[in-house]
Amino acid sequence: MLQTLVLLANTTVEQISSLTALFWSGAAAASFLVIQFAGARYYGFSQSRNPRTPITFLVILGALGAAGAIVFSFLPNTDLQLFLGMTCGALLWTALGEIPEQAGWYSHSSRRALQVFMCFFATWLLIAFIIPGVPMAITGCVAYIAWVWGLHQARTRVICRWGTVSLATTLLMIVLGMLAGGAVVLGAVYGTPFSGTSAGLAFAVTVWSLLEVIWEQEMAQGPWKQKTQKGAQNGDKC
């Protein structure tokens, strides 16, 4: 959503169709959620059979994400660069964020995690608004990670401090819902298939974050079968 807003503010393109953008938003959101569910299930199945699964997935997904962000930077179409860069960001976030958390190697609620996130977010601001000439693939990749990581930080810290049934958590859920809807509106206003796809991806990521609240509070069974004992302990710390 962040990078879609930047692209909308700085680029003039021929409008194709808001309906076309909405179609691609829906397709992207549905595809992302299906892939997330299927990938989480497959990861859990593989981990139950091979204890080295986290390392294997981390190396493969991390290498694909980093290499893709670099290669796609040479594409001439900036919209395509943005979408593929965000896709690479999803791979990198899975490798460096989701897998280490599930394996219990770190916790989103730690102070160091917040410090690293703030540095990373500042890096995105520099790339997007201050440093000229950065390829859109790199910017989109960094923007995706900043967006997802920011959602994790906000959700974790609000729930840890005020609790799941607090007014603060309710307001957070409302804001996340508004952001999800706003992403789709931005994609429709821009009116291209790539803007719609990027907006749908931002929508799906935000919805996934809302679902994680439900799963973490054990109100429903999530796609991750179970965390490791160390991971569960880290996840319960505030």
**Tens place of pLDDT per residue across the chain (238 aa):** 555 445 544 444 444 477 887 888 888 888 888 888 888 888 888 888 888 888 999 999 999 999 999 999 999 988 788 888 988 999 999 998 888 888 888 777 778 888 888 988 998 889 888 888 889 899 989 988 988 888 888 888 888 888 877 888 888 888 888 888 887 887 777 777 777 887 888 888 888 888 887 777 777 666 665 544 444 444 445 6
Residue 15's nearest CA partner among 185, 188, 183, 197 is 188
Chain segment 5-51, per-residue pLDDT in tens:
455 444 444 444 778 878 888 888 888 888 888 888 888 888 888 88
Q: What is the pLDDT of residue 88?
A: 92
Burial of 203: CB neighbours in 10 Å, binned 0-12, 13-18, 19+ = buried
Q: What is the pLDDT of residue 197?
A: 83
Q: What is the pLDDT of residue 113?
A: 82
Q: What is the pLDDT of residue 31?
A: 86
The total number of residues shown for the chain amounts to 238
Q: Please give the model's pTM, rounded to 2 decimal places.
A: 0.79
Burial 126-154 (b: 16+ CB within 10 A, else e): ebbeeeeeebbbbbbbbbbbbbbbbbbbe
Q: Are 84 and 72 in contact (CB under 8 A)?
A: yes
Sequence ranges of the domains in the chain: 2-8+16-220
Q: What is the pLDDT of residue 83?
A: 84
Q: Please provide the average confidence, as pLDDT, over all residues in the chain.
A: 80
